[in-house]
Structure 1
């Protein structure tokens, strides 16, 4: 079995059409069919059901497709790591983070790593938790900063800190004196994270409001915490944000009331690949853990 057999198989599995797969691979159809038959003979398993109307994967074929995709992802990670070793730990180190993490910590991390690895090109990406997990599984990032939970056998997750919640409002439009005023907000306009972008976080916000006895009137949504805070500053509503944001915001127009009565937190976690034991990754994680 050669790599070309696996590449040909994946092309057919994706297109479910031998003619289209052959065009995609820039070969003619007869050699492609012959290669697939050779692969099936070697495996002693039928991978496709073929007739005049359609091509389908067998159950064995579906299993083989999943495993081959995982194999190619693993080979890509091996290639990337080999290249880094050959370049004496130069190349790229890619860090993803959610928008609600205070950016100065990320800047400090880059500065610290740059001192240790001056030839590394650091890249930063602001990405949602769900997309970070997917990117890390595919080897597209090296370190992620997310809001838990994480459900992936390929990822190592370490708790960075537990974050509480605070109501944020513009003091020029509304006065929220203390936590006891929170139940009176049922008629106010709220700005929330988009539920499709951050479903778990969205559910937590609804739970918080339910604890205080009301369902929020969500009128505006955004996929970025800084945009949410800006909408609040512009008087378009109030919101509930991680207390981490409140602690690091110096805008005099904004007021924050921490929600202390409800015992509800989100875990901010650092995620890395279980296969990544590189010095730079370990150093990055250690630096952030010391910043808790």
Structure 2
């Protein structure tokens, strides 16, 4: 049964005139009449009474018109909304993010997105990079902001796409009570005997790798006092003088706490960045595309 036939019936019932209805529907009057006759045969009931001067509804036609009219109006208004706005009403956008990106990028991003798409509901989930990758890979989230992985080529081969944002140097962060706090910068050799707050190999793999690489190049193994997966946790431990940690500069700038001291590393360049990742599908939704545009415009390397 052709749904267009019901739309044709609704227009004839509304106009009470085949000629006017045909003009509204942009079809010929004979074609419209044929569609109505075919619909009546399929339903096995008479919908319209036709005379040379007017068209009226039968009882069955009146019943069908009242049942269908509001539904078709809703369908047409929904289709028109999608055509004009390119998104569905009350669309939801799920974003997984590491806490650093939530602090750095999300506020400005959401301000711009809400102005452009006031009907969209955003859901933000703070988590680790590895968990964020899995959420996107399993189609549970549209987009993720993660600490850029070391093995990014492997991730791209697994059907993900990625764009990297501004790269920031890693600094050694110590408590203001630490003996090194009075220094302007440090050589890594100076911290070989310090207690390190390290990063989890699975949940914070890129930071774990950078710490291991730096210490190896300085010819020592870090004395690990504890392992964490979040930068906020690492900074909190450092501020309480539990140990020292490597922290990306942008994270130090966010906190601006008087309890820690960030020391540039003078004998080695270490840096880290945030990247956006999404599923490498043939179709990129409008919301995802617009978010990437804003992020790249504001935070491109």
TM-score, normalising length: structure 1: 0.65
| Change over 3 Å in CA distance of 1:260–1:97 after alignment to 2 | farther
Matches within 5 A, 1:1-292: 88-101=88-101, 103-146=103-146, 147-148=148-149, 149-150=151-152, 151-152=155-156, 153-176=158-181, 177-275=183-281, 276-292=283-299
The 1:289–1:89 alpha-carbon spacing in structure 2 relative to 1, beyond 3 Å, is farther
Rounded to whole Å, the distance in 2 between the matches of 1:102 and 1:225 is: 12
Distance 2:266 2:192 in 1: 19
Number of matched residues? Answer: 210
Q: Which moved more, 1:240-249 or 1:221-230?
A: 240-249
Cα distance in 2 between the residues matched to 1:196 and 1:261? 28
8 Å CA contact 1:95–1:144 kept in 2: the answer is yes
Shift, 1:109, TM fit: 1.0
TM-score by length of structure 2 reads 0.63
Q: CA deviation at 1:200?
A: 3.6
- Aligned structure 1 segments of 4 or more residues deviating by more than 4 angstroms: 84-87
- How far apart are the structure 2 equivalents of 1:89 and 1:161? 34
Q: Please say if residues 163 and 265 of structure 1, whose CA atoms lie closer than 8 Å, have aligned partners that are also in contact.
A: yes
Unaligned stretches of 5+ residues in structure 2: 1-80
Give ranges in structure 1 of 5+ residues lacking alignment: 1-83
Contact 2:95–2:144 (8 Å) recurs in 1? yes
Tell me the CA shift for residue 103 of structure 1.
0.5
C-alpha distance in 2, partners of 1:246/1:213? 26
Instruction: Report the equivalent of 1:63.
Output: none
1:225 Cα deviation after fit: 0.8
| 8 Å contact kept, 1:101–1:244 | no
The root-mean-square deviation of aligned C-alpha atoms, in Å, is 2.4
Structure number with greater Rg is 2
| Contact preservation (8 Å) 2:186, 2:265 | no
SS of alignment partner, residue 162 of structure 1: strand
Deviation at 1:219, TM superposition (A): 0.7
Who is 1:13 aligned against? none
Equivalent-residue separation in structure 2 for 1:218 and 1:206 (angstroms):
11
Write the deviation string for residues 143-198 of structure 1: whole angstroms up to 9, x where unpaired.
11112243144221112122321101111233241434431212211112122322
What is the CA–CA distance in structure 1 between the aligned matches of 2:238 and 2:220, rounded to whole Å? 20
The change in CA–CA distance for 1:207 and 1:104 in structure 2 (over 3 A counts) is closer
Give the deviation of 1:104 after TM superposition. Answer: 4.3
